[in-house]
Amino acid sequence: MTKTILGIVASLMLATSVAADVSGKLVLYTSQPNSDAQQTVDAFTAKYPEVEVEWIRDGTTKVMAKLRAEFEAGAPQPDVLLIADMVTMEGLEAEGRLMPYPEADVSAYDPALMDAEGHYFSTKLITTGIVYNTNAPMVPTSYADLLRPEAKDKLAMPSPLTSGAATIHMAAITTHPDLGWEIYEGLAEQGANPQGGNGGTYKAVAGGEKLYGFVVDFLPIRNKLEGAPVEFVFPEEGVSAVTEPVAILSTAQNPDAAKAFVDFLISPEGQQLAADMGYLPAHPEIAPPEGFPARSEIRLLDFDPAKALADDTANKQRFLDIFGG
C-alpha cells in the first residue's frame, strides 16, 4: 500500500514538474479572428504563465503564403499553427512539415475529426448548411429544396475559389451519394452566382437581396439572437465542417510549450472556451452555445481530407466549368 501511495505521489510530482517546465517563447500563426486569438492566448498563458506567446493573425491563405516564404528561406518561425481547415494540414503533413503528437488525449473525440497519426487536431466545428430569410416563402430542410421553383434567382453562395469553408462544403456535397455534382449544376440553373466569402452571402440573405444560401453556422445563429431575420438549417443530409485544426511544426523551437498548447485546446477547458466564444465545440460532451442544437442532433457529411486535397484542382476546375469564371 505504501509503495502504491508513493508511486501515485511520484507521478503527481512528475506531472507537476512537466507542467512547470512549460516555459519560454511560443510562436503561434493563426487564422482566428483577432478577438478570438487574444482570448485563446490569454486563457493559455493564464494556465502556463511562464510561456510568452507571440502570435500573428491573418486569413489562412495569407498565413500559408507567409509560411511558404519562410519554408523557401529555410527559416519557418511558428511552433504551432491554428488555421481553418484539415485540407491545408493534410498538405503540410504530406510534405513532412508537421510534428506528430500521438500522445495527445483524443479519446473523447470522433476519430474522423483527428489525424490518425496525431499530426493535427480539430478544435471546433464551424459547419456550413443553409441560411434563409424569414420572409422566404419556403423553409428548406434539404439541399434539394434549393432546387425548387421558390428559390429560383434567390440564391447566394460563397465561392470555393475564395472561401476555405466553401471549398470543403463543395468537396463534401459532391462526394455524397445522394447529392453529387448534380446539386451544383442545379444551383447554376437556379441562377446562383457564387462569389466572395461567407460574410457577403450572409449579408445578402439577411438584407433580403437573396432569400436562401450556403453559409457558416455562427453568422446567422449569432445574429438571429440579436433580431436578424434569418434562420440556419442543418439539412437532413448533414453539414460540412471546417474544424480549425491545430498542429505543431516539425521545426518547432519550443515543442514542449507547443504540446501544452495542443493539450489545452482539446481539453474540456479549451473546448468550453470555444463554446463561450460562440462556436460549436468539437468535444461531444461540451454543451453548444445558445442557438445551436445538441451535438448529437447534428449530422456531419462524410469528408476525407486526403481525397479533398488530391481532388482540389479538379474540383475547382469543374466548379468553374459549371458557373463560369
The mean predicted confidence, pLDDT, of the chain is 92
Ranges of CATH 3.40.190.10 domains, the chain: 18-123+243-292, 126-241+300-323
Q: Is the pLDDT of residue 280 over 90?
A: yes
pLDDT in tens, 56-85: 999 888 899 999 999 999 999 999 999 989
Secondary-structure class of domain 126-241+300-323 per CATH: alpha beta
Q: What is the mean pLDDT of residues 145-156?
A: 97
C-alpha cell at 290: 445558445
Termini Cα distance of the chain: 73
Q: What is the mean pLDDT of residues 47-61?
A: 94
Residue 314 is predicted with a pLDDT of 97
Residue 164 is predicted with a pLDDT of 87
Instruction: Give residue 325's pLDDT band: very low, low, confident or very high (50, 70, 90).
Output: low
Burial of 294 (0-12, 13-18, 19+ CB in 10 A): exposed
Q: Is the pLDDT of residue 140 over 80?
A: yes
C-alpha cell at 262: 495542443
6-10, 73-77, 115-119, 159-163: the lowest-pLDDT one: 6-10
Residue 12 is predicted with a pLDDT of 43
pLDDT in tens, 3-47: 444 444 444 444 443 454 899 999 999 999 999 999 999 999 999
Three-state secondary structure string covering the chain: CHHHHHHHHHHHHHHHHHHHCCCEEEEEEECCCHHHHHHHHHHHHHHCCCEEEEEEECCHHHHHHHHHHHHHHCCCCCCEEECCCHHHHHHHHHCCCEECCCCCCCCCCCHHHECCCCCCECCEEEEEEEEEECCCCCCCCCHHHHHCHHHCCCEECCCCCCCHHHHHHHHHHHCCCCCCHHHHHHHHHCCCCCCCCHHHHHHHHHCCCCCEEEEECHHHHHHHHCCCCEEEECCCCCEEEECCCEEEECCCCCHHHHHHHHHHHHCHHHHHHHHHCCCEECCCCCCCCCCCCCHHHCCECCCCHHHHHHHHHHHHHHHHHHHCC
Q: What is the mean pLDDT of residues 272-290?
A: 95
Residue 147 is predicted with a pLDDT of 98
pLDDT in tens, 173-218: 999 999 999 999 999 999 999 999 899 999 999 999 999 999 999 9
Q: What is the mean pLDDT of residues 223-245?
A: 96
Residue 150 is predicted with a pLDDT of 96
Residue 9 is predicted with a pLDDT of 42
Q: What is the mean pLDDT of residues 93-102?
A: 97
User: 18-123+243-292, superfamily in CATH?
Assistant: Periplasmic binding protein-like II (3.40.190.10)
Q: Is the pLDDT of residue 309 over 70?
A: yes
